[in-house]
Amino acid sequence: MQLDNTTNEFERGKSQLSAFFSFLFSYKTAVILLAALMVLPIAFLVFVAASGDFESIGHLARTVVPQSSLTTLEILLGVGVMVALVGTFSAWLVSFYDFPGRSIFSWALMLPMAVPTYISAYTFVEFFSYTGPLQTLVRHAGEFSSARDYWFPDIRSVSGTILVMGIVLYPYVYLSTRALFQYQSSKVIDCARSLGAGRMRVFAQVILPMARPAIVLGVALALMETINDIGAVEYLGTRTLTFSIFSVWLNQNDLAGAAQLSLVLLLVVAGLLMLERISRRNRQFHDLRTERADQPVERIRLTGKPAWFAVIGCSLPVAMGFGIPMTVLVNYAARRLSESLNPELYKALFTSLVLAGFAALVAALIGLMFAYALRKDKSHAMVTLVRFASTGYAMPGTILALGIFLSLAMFDNYIDGMFRHYLGISTGLLITGSGATIIYAYVVRFMVMAEGTLDAGLSRISPSIDMAARSLGRNQLRTFMSVLLPNLRPAIAVAALLVMVESIKELSATIMLRPFGIQTLSTHVYDYASQALIEDAALGCLLIVVAGTIPVIVLLKYSGIGDVRN
């Protein structure tokens, strides 16, 4: 009897141990650990901010926060209005009207998305400077001899910052509203027209209300990019909250104050994230398509002055957002052909490719794990966990960099202390002294791209395929490796490509986390620009813009927006 009890206890313990190891090595455990790793920087940021001296935030609240907050809000408001107007208006024109060049404008209007905001700032300052083509034309036309003889707007101002950012960020609104217009039912619009509503009335009372969720989504994404920027605002001389964090950390050497100021900016970000939900309260929006309503809306052909008005309305955003930067960069690069032989440029390019490549690989693997977890477990807890782990894109690179630096520096110091105590040797900065911190920042910031792309790819594979494979004797791992993974190769390639290109363009986190001696393409350009050597940085800027066109081409291919048949 005692032997039976002992056997039962052994079997029970063995079963519990097996269950523990099964949980330990399950995908759920992996998702929990990876999600914790994604949110670790913010947790440390809050910890350091709470443990710091509150006299610092009091001093910042009196001297820095008021003006920086006002400037930030002015820029956010201006950029929000500009991208909403330009993006919605251009999407409306190419979606509902036919005019000369419409098929070209349908994809060309997305090209400014390839230009990072800091490169846009560099080129706009050069274009609008005293020696630039615009002021040269004004002096020639008015026969002026100096700048004192005429008035010209200053691009290094809040309004100039709004123009520089808005003209390259409006594609976020254009993309979302164009996609909605393209797939929205034509019956509603035809019904309004049959009741005698004119073009503007249909737009104001039918099209615009239907597009409101897409407009808000695009504006929110554009404002996220605005908050993340540090290169443009510094070059244009506008002191935002993001730049203030950068200054407090590096110039004043006040980590606690920078962490506390970061939490203030996080409140602004949280407000932006709640914008769409609040605006949608007590309202519902439905897709009014039927099985026969997926045909594109019949476009109205424009002739005469309306047609020219439409051409000008679509040409200006493309010319300013993409034409001006490319013209300035190509012109300067042609003057500095010797820069093409600069070994520092190619070293920076190689470093960018290596760091971005590793980040793309890691992000694709983690994103695949998150997407697969959502496929296997659609519970509210799992969905919340994955979505929370993928919110790094909502965090400005400056805040993310500060949180990563604080957490990894503490880990490095702990390891160094252990080795000093037990072995009498110093390990130095194992992680923060290498490019691993930059890769970590890229993965956390752009995880939403990888997870979202792979989740969309998995959603196209019917769950019945999994069940069929399991019924044929394949276990969960073999089903994933031999059935799901081959079908996900295109989505994995797209996810890795998007993360890699965005990592090459990223400046805010890179400039704050780069170890001594490591130079990426974006920091190479930033260093030259900070010394007003834009001509020497032109080739590097061109490489970044060319890399930035890759996700635009991918979006055109997979969204169908650039299809001339539409």
Q: What is the pLDDT of residues 500-518, one digit of tens each?
A: 888 888 888 888 888 877 8
Taking the C-alpha atoms of residue 212 and residue 19, their distance in angstroms, rounded to an integer, is 50
Taking the C-alpha atoms of residue 92 and residue 84, their distance in angstroms, rounded to an integer, is 12
Give the model's pLDDT for residue 169: 93
Contact present, 160 and 154 (Cβ < 8 Å): yes
Q: Which residue has the higher pLDDT, 51 or 359?
A: 359
Taking the C-alpha atoms of residue 418 and residue 382, their distance in angstroms, rounded to an integer, is 37
Percent helix, strand, coil in the chain, to 5, is 80, 0, 20
* Residue 290 pLDDT class (50, 70, 90 cuts): very low
Amino acid, single-letter form, for residue 539? L
Mean pLDDT, residues 272-297 taken together = 53
Mean pLDDT, residues 469-475 taken together = 65
Mean pLDDT, residues 113-130 taken together = 90
Taking the C-alpha atoms of residue 245 and residue 345, their distance in angstroms, rounded to an integer, is 29
Give the model's pLDDT for residue 88: 92
Q: Over the stretch 365-375, which tens digit does the pLDDT of each residue have?
A: 888 888 888 87
At the top level of CATH, the class of 336-530 is: mainly alpha
Query: How many Cα atoms occupy the beta-carbon half-sphere of 59 within 13 Å?
Result: 10
* Residue 21 pLDDT class (50, 70, 90 cuts): very low
Report how far apart, in Å, the C-alpha atoms of 484 and of each of 364, 450, 466 are: 15, 17, 8
Give 557-565's long-range contacts (Cβ < 8 A, gap of 24+): 558/494, 559/175, 559/179, 560/182, 561/106, 561/107, 561/110, 561/175, 561/178, 561/179, 561/182, 562/106, 562/107, 562/110, 563/106, 564/103, 564/106
Backbone angles phi, psi at 431, to 5 degrees: -105, -55
Report how far apart, in Å, the C-alpha atoms of 190 and of each of 195, 204, 432 are: 9, 15, 61
Dihedral of alpha carbons 356, 361, 366, 367, sign:
positive
- The listed range with the strongest mean pLDDT (41-45, 335-339, 354-358) is 354-358
Give the model's pLDDT for residue 355: 92
The single residue listed with the structure tokens 């251009």 is: 90
Give the model's pLDDT for residue 314: 94
- The listed range with the strongest mean pLDDT (62-66, 83-87, 424-428) is 83-87
Beta-carbon contacts of 310 under 8 Å, excluding residues fewer than 6 positions away, are: 93, 97, 99, 102, 302
Domain locations in the chain as residue ranges: 336-530
Strands 97-98 and 300-301: parallel
Give the model's pLDDT for residue 239: 86
Give 332-335's long-range contacts (Cβ < 8 A, gap of 24+): 332/126, 332/534, 332/535, 332/538, 333/538, 333/539, 333/542, 335/535, 335/538
Contact present, 117 and 236 (Cβ < 8 Å): no
Give the model's pLDDT for residue 288: 46
Contact present, 126 and 132 (Cβ < 8 Å): yes
User: Does residue 61 surpass a pLDDT of 80?
Assistant: no
Taking the C-alpha atoms of residue 230 and residue 118, their distance in angstroms, rounded to an integer, is 8
Taking the C-alpha atoms of residue 94 and residue 432, their distance in angstroms, rounded to an integer, is 49
| Entry field: residues in the chain | 566
Neighbours of 36 (CB within 10 A): 12
User: Does residue 486 surpass a pLDDT of 70?
Assistant: yes
* Residue 13 pLDDT class (50, 70, 90 cuts): low
| Two tokens, residue 58 | 């009091």
Give the model's pLDDT for residue 442: 92
| Closest alpha carbon to 323 in 175, 168, 173 | 168
Cα dihedral 382, 383, 386, 390, rounded to 10, equals -170
User: Does residue 195 surpass a pLDDT of 60?
Assistant: no
pLDDT, the chain, mean = 79
User: Does residue 565 surpass a pLDDT of 50?
Assistant: no
| Two tokens, residue 60 | 């910042």
| Percentage with pLDDT > 70 across the chain | 79
Give the model's pLDDT for residue 564: 40
* Residue 551 pLDDT class (50, 70, 90 cuts): confident
Mean pLDDT, residues 272-285 taken together = 57
The single residue listed with the structure tokens 């399950």 is: 26
| Two tokens, residue 497 | 């490509």
| Closest alpha carbon to 494 in 434, 452, 438 | 452
Q: Over the stretch 382-433, which tens digit does the pLDDT of each residue have?
A: 878 887 777 777 777 888 888 888 888 888 788 878 888 787 787 777 777 7
Mean pLDDT, residues 155-182 taken together = 89
- Model pTM? 0.80
Contact present, 336 and 542 (Cβ < 8 Å): no
- The listed range with the strongest mean pLDDT (43-57, 154-168, 220-234, 425-439) is 154-168
User: Does residue 197 surpass a pLDDT of 70?
Assistant: no
User: Does residue 284 surpass a pLDDT of 70?
Assistant: no
Q: Which residue has the higher pLDDT, 116 or 498?
A: 116
Lowest pLDDT segment from 47-56, 409-418, 438-447: 47-56
Lowest pLDDT segment from 1-15, 140-154, 366-380: 1-15
Give the model's pLDDT for residue 472: 65
| Closest alpha carbon to 445 in 566, 363, 383 | 363
User: Does residue 128 surpass a pLDDT of 70?
Assistant: yes
